Amino acid sequence: MNSLKVIGQTANKETIEAWHKIPNFMIIEGESGSGRKTMSTFIAKHFNADIVPIGNKVDDVREIIEDARQLTFPRIYLLDSNGMRVGAKNTLLKITEEPPHNCHIILLVHTVNDALPTLVSRCKLLTMLPYTKEEVEDYLVDVLGYKEKDALTYSKLTNSLGNLRTMHHQDLPRYYEKCTYFLDNIWNVSFGNSLNIVNWLRVKKADEEKEEKLDASLFVQCVLNMFHQDCLADYETFTANQLSQNSIFIKSTSTCSTKLQNPLQTKEVTIHEWLRELSSIE
C-alpha cells in the first residue's frame, strides 16, 4: 500500500501503477520544484524498492555497477542531470545497455534534451504536469498546514510545490507581503526609490546567512507569477498602452528570472538592471 502523499500528477501515477515491474531505466522530466524527487519516491514505495541518491560524475555512475552486484533486492539509483558531463552520460548509457540484476535508474532532467537521445530511446519517460490552483491549495493545506483562507492567498505566488516548500521554511507570508507591495507600488516610484527593494533580498555574499532576507530568484519568480495572474483577471479592461506596459514588464521580469538562475550572473547587478528597466516603463 503506497501511503506517500503525492499532490496531483494523476496521469503519471496511473502510468506507474500500470507497470508490472520496475523499469530498468526511467527519466523524469520537469523543472526544479516540480516534484520529480517525490515522484521517484512514489515509484520506489510502489514497488517496495530501496532508493539511493548518487552523484552524477563518471566515478559516481561507475560505482553503480559495483554496488548493484551485491544486491539481493531491487534498488533505484537517483541521478540529477544538472551539470552532468558527456563522459558520465556515456557511462550511464553503457550501464543501461546491460543493467545489473536489481539495478534500476532514474535520471532527473529539466527537459529530455538534457539527456542523450540514445538514453531517451530506452527509457520510460514521465513528464511532471503543471499543478492546478486547486492542487497548490491542497498542498498548502494538507502538507504545509496552512488554513484554507491563507492557502487561497498564497497560491497566487507560484504553482511550484518545491518553491512553496522552500518559502514556507523561510517565511511564506513575508514573500507574499513583499511581492504584493512591489506590484502595488512599482509603477509609481523612481529608480532611486526602488533601490530599497534590494535590501529585502539576498543579492550579496554577506546576505546569504540573513534569515530576514528573501531569495532573490524566488522573489522575482513570484512577482512574475502574481503579475501574470493579475493581467489575466483584468485583461479586458486594459488600454493599448497598458497592454504594451504589461508586455515590457513580463519580458523584463522573465529575463531577470533567467539571469538569476545563472551562477555566472551577479545577482545584485541583475536586480539593479531589472529595476532600472521597470522604473523607465511609461
Task: State the pLDDT at residue 17.
Answer: 94
Q: Given this model, what pLDDT does residue 1 score?
A: 41
C-alpha cell belonging to residue 122? 530506452
Which residues are CB-neighbours of 57 under 8 A, at least 6 positions away?
85, 88
pLDDT of 13: 93
Q: Which pLDDT does position 4 carry in this prediction?
A: 66
Tell how far CA 243 is from the center of its chain.
29
- What is the pLDDT of the chain when averaged over all its residues? 89
Predicted local confidence at residue 279, as pLDDT: 83
CA angle 119, 6, 26 (to 5 degrees): 10
In the beta sheet, which residues pair with residue 243? none
What is the C-alpha separation between 48 and 99, in angstroms, rounded?
Answer: 19
Q: Which three cell numbers stand for residue 58?
A: 563518471
Output the pLDDT for position 156: 93
Cβ atoms of residues 259 and 218 within 8 Å: no
Phi-psi region at 8: left, alpha or beta (left = phi > 0; alpha = psi -120 to 50): left
Residue with cell 479592461: 237
- Residues 140-177 as b or e (16 or more Cβ within 10 Å = b): bbeebebeeebbebbbbbbbbbbbbbbbbeeebeebbe
Return d(Cα 135, Cα 233) in angstroms, integer.
Answer: 20
Q: What is the pTM of this model?
A: 0.77
Per-residue pLDDT of the chain (282 residues; tens, 9 = 90+): 445 678 889 999 999 999 999 999 999 999 888 889 999 999 999 999 999 999 999 999 999 988 888 888 999 999 999 888 999 999 999 999 888 888 999 999 999 988 899 999 989 999 999 888 899 999 999 999 999 999 999 999 998 898 999 999 999 999 999 999 998 888 776 665 665 788 899 888 887 778 889 999 999 999 999 998 888 777 778 888 888 888 999 999 999 999 998 878 899 899 999 988 888 887
